[in-house]
Amino acid sequence: MPGFELFGNEERKEVNDVLESGVLMRYGFDGIRNGHWKAKEFETAFANRMGSAHCQLVSSGTAALTVSLAAAGVGAGDEVIMPNFTFVASFESIMMLGAVPVLVDIDDTLTLDPKAVIKAITPRTKCVMPVHMCGSMANLRALKTICNQHQLLLIEDACQAIGGSYEGKPLGSYGDLGCFSFDYVKTITCGEGGAVITNNTKFAAQANQFQDHGHDHFGTDRGAETHPHLGYNFRISELNAAVGIAQLRKLDNFLEIQKRNYTLIREALSKIKEITFRKVPESGVENYSFISFFLPNQDIAEKAHKALSEQGVDACFYWFKNNWHYINGWEHLKDLTSLGKLPEEICLQMQNLNTTNFSQSDAIMGRTISSLVKLSWTDEQVKKRAEAMVKAIQSVL
């Protein structure tokens, strides 16, 4: 991770197809395309790879979350349960629809705690949205059981976990809908892009319409299409989709490289008795894009993170004090700071995040360090990195 580390002639060829035709938009202009429909090709290939009946490409992972929620009928006043360790896009996508994010604790999987989910359910709850952070997954069986019992939607945010699996199913395909990001730093990248997958024909059709101003996409005359409902512009371009086609073909190779590098680093860190590793649910397989581990306490974790930096070990993250990924840094969400007036439902229903007790998550995140696993490392570089990590961590124990 990320896929841009291994760009090559495959991506150039697909992009040149688009540039030679001159058609950058995914819809229309049939006569001058020279048969190139990159978005359609990517959607078919991605659905097949993810074991799903339908795929809808969109402009970003954030767009994928918004489109999936809208396609499933989530709207103003509906509550969506999500974790307090994620990327800010998770709550942004919910609030964009006037729905209300309900943040709850994580457990040692670094994802949604099913027990916290149960406590957060109200008559307004419409959806549970686990986020498979740093390449590994939530306890999806437990969450699906909860959703079935309470007639709730299960929408997977698999933006950071493409290629992982649970009970033999690709992550994203276990719930009602699954969302992916292909931004510049993801395991496969389009530069910017995202995808929604589902086996639900109704949700698929509504996602297809919502991401393109409500167009029904019937026939070959775009100007004659009807609009069954309101929509917005979350379309992907042919250029972005073209890059994604080539990257998707490389996904299995990327995953193999990540697993090899991850394993070498984990074996080295396992020799430090004070380190434990994030829990991967039974029957789950990571995509190995990050290696996440726990130190005995927050003080040691902070010192270890500093020591790693001083040893020249880059791409190590201490999420507890990260403005993008943990509740501690989201003052704009806590205070509902917005450029314009927020929907009344959000203002009235939103939990007070300044006073909510997240001590369970704090106890976990305060001890957590995650190391990115790069694709471009040589075996020698991985070995040196592992040695440097061990040296840095042992220096503060």
Interval 199-219: pLDDT, tens? 999 999 999 999 999 999 999
**Residues spanned by the domain of 349:** 252-394
The predicted-structure confidence for 221-237, as pLDDT tens digits, reads as follows 998 999 999 999 999 99
Mean pLDDT estimate for the chain: 97
Residues 85 and 210 reside in one and the same domain = yes
pLDDT above 70 coverage of the chain, percent? 100
Residues 194 and 312 reside in one and the same domain = no
Residues 261 and 292 reside in one and the same domain = yes
The pLDDT, as a whole number, for residue 135 is: 97
Residues 293 and 198 reside in one and the same domain = no
Which of 38, 186, 250, 374 is an active site residue?
A: 186
Q: Say which amino acid occupies 200.
A: N
Cross-strand pairs, 131: 157
The pLDDT, as a whole number, for residue 295 is: 98
Cα separation, 128 vs 99, whole angstroms: 13
Q: What CATH number does residue 63 fall under?
A: 3.40.640.10
Residues 205 and 302 reside in one and the same domain = no
1 pLDDT higher than 90: no
Residues 22 and 53 reside in one and the same domain = yes
Q: What CATH number does residue 271 fall under?
A: 3.90.1150.10
Beta-carbon contacts of 338 under 8 Å, excluding residues fewer than 6 positions away, are none
State whether the Cα torsion 302-286-183-80 is positive or negative: negative
For strands 290-294 and 368-372, give the pairing: antiparallel
Q: Say which amino acid occupies 107.
A: D
Q: Assess whether 169 carries a catalytic annotation.
A: no
The pLDDT, as a whole number, for residue 240 is: 98
Q: Give the Cβ contact number of residue 17 at 10 Å.
A: 17
The pLDDT, as a whole number, for residue 288 is: 98
Could you tell me the CA-to-CA distances from 375 to 185, 188, 305, 383 in Å, in that order?
12, 11, 22, 14
Cα separation, 115 vs 97, whole angstroms: 27
Cα separation, 307 vs 397, whole angstroms: 11
342 pLDDT higher than 90: yes
Residue where a domain stops, chosen among 196, 224, 250: 250
The predicted-structure confidence for 344-367, as pLDDT tens digits, reads as follows 999 999 999 999 999 999 999 999
Residues 266 and 208 reside in one and the same domain = no
Model-level pTM greater than 0.75?
A: yes
The predicted-structure confidence for 236-276, as pLDDT tens digits, reads as follows 999 999 999 999 999 999 999 999 999 999 999 999 999 99
Alpha helices in the chain (DSSP H): 9-21, 38-49, 61-71, 89-96, 114-120, 140-150, 201-210, 238-249, 251-269, 298-310, 331-334, 344-349, 359-365, 379-394
Residues 285 and 221 reside in one and the same domain = no
The predicted-structure confidence for 144-194, as pLDDT tens digits, reads as follows 999 999 999 999 999 999 999 999 999 999 999 999 999 999 999 999 999
Residue where a domain stops, chosen among 250, 270, 302: 250
For strands 100-104 and 79-83, give the pairing: parallel
The predicted-structure confidence for 70-91, as pLDDT tens digits, reads as follows 999 999 999 999 999 999 999 9
Q: What are phi and psi of 256, to 5 degrees?
A: -65, -45
368 pLDDT higher than 90: yes
110 pLDDT higher than 90: yes
For strands 177-181 and 153-157, give the pairing: parallel
Average pLDDT over residues 32-43: 96
- The angle formed by the CA atoms of residues 86, 87 and 91, to the nearest 5 degrees, is 90
Residues 284 and 157 reside in one and the same domain = no
Average pLDDT over residues 9-20: 97
Residues 183 and 301 reside in one and the same domain = no
Residues 383 and 241 reside in one and the same domain = no
The pLDDT, as a whole number, for residue 195 is: 98
Residue where a domain stops, chosen among 198, 226, 250: 250
Number of compact structural domains in the chain: 2
Residues 63 and 174 reside in one and the same domain = yes
